[in-house]
Structure 1
Amino acid sequence: MAELGKKRQKRTSREVRGPERVRHTLGRADILRGRNNFQLVFKQGRKFEGTYLRCLFLADERLKFRWGARKAVGFTAPGALKRAVDRNRLKRLAREAYRLNKEIILPSMQSSPRPLALIFVYSNKVAHSPRFPTFSEIEQDMKRILQSVAQARLEGDK
């Protein structure tokens, strides 16, 4: 009966989830912002091509992120897609594919203290295609690109 009077101790979220589980979120600190950051990545970043997406990435001390983040990601779609609805849909699909598969790149983040910026651009090659890509196609493309970036990052490129 003496146990009934004791307060239950709250378990921390880490105890509930476990230490190795990845949270599939894309917070405000993870979004690449600022004209200077975008220009730096577009000018000096390394490129990886996929079927639907192109990725530019740069690990550089000159990158400035908010709230002390070590990585940030941006998404763009070309103006060749005339309707804003289509551009926004493609960016939304790419954001979701990245959010679900970002754990591919996380192990390579521990190898270097330099900040990493990624920009995913919808490819101009397919911008004029009448067929709109599905989420599964964009997700497969995202996985291939993230694996390539992680491999290059582990090898110590840029």
Structure 2
Amino acid sequence: MKFTLGKNERLKSRKLIESLYKEGKSVKTFPFRLVYLQKSHTSEFPAQAGFSVPKRNFKRAVDRNRIKRVMRECYRLQKEMVYSNLEQPHVFMISYIGREELSYKELYSKMNKLLELFISKIKN
């Protein structure tokens, strides 16, 4: 499996995002919140992921963009764990709910915990 995060693996559809926030369930591991929904999509990948950082917590776009870039990198390196456990297509949005920026190592371990929690939630 390639460790890439291409265009087809990113959640971009407004309709999917709307239905995700209306009908989706969520899991939290500080500083992340993952909203997920089992729904078919146009991509051939088992999941499509989106990433968001609120403007309310980080006023400067530079800070928001850096956090999103680090989040995408942490997810990209660990997505194989998610893909191997999904039977049906899912869409999910990972939001950063913390108020200050954490180091890459901390975010990587927190992303790992979040994805493990998500897997255990969909298995049950």
* CA–CA distance in structure 2, aligned partners of residues 106 and 115 of structure 1: 10
TM-score, normalised relative to structure 2: 0.91
4+ residue stretches of structure 1 with deviation over 4 A? none
- Please state whether the residue corresponding to 2:85 is helix, strand or coil: helix
- Please state whether the residue corresponding to 1:108 is helix, strand or coil: coil
1:58 is displaced (CA, Å) by 0.8
1:44 is displaced (CA, Å) by 1.3
1:59 paired residue among 38, 51, 60? 38
Give the fraction of aligned pairs with identical amino acids, expressed as a percent.
28
Q: Which has the higher strand share?
A: 2
- Please state whether the residue corresponding to 1:138 is helix, strand or coil: helix
1:103 is displaced (CA, Å) by 1.5
> 1:32 touches 1:65 (CA, 8 Å); kept in 2?
no
> 2:46 touches 2:83 (CA, 8 Å); kept in 1?
no
TM-score, normalised relative to structure 1: 0.72
Bigger radius of gyration among the two: 1
1:10 maps to which residue? Answer: none
1:9 maps to which residue? Answer: none
> 1:33 touches 1:65 (CA, 8 Å); kept in 2?
no
1:55-109 C-alpha deviation (Å, 9 max, x unpaired): 1111024xx334x333100001101111000110110010000001112112212
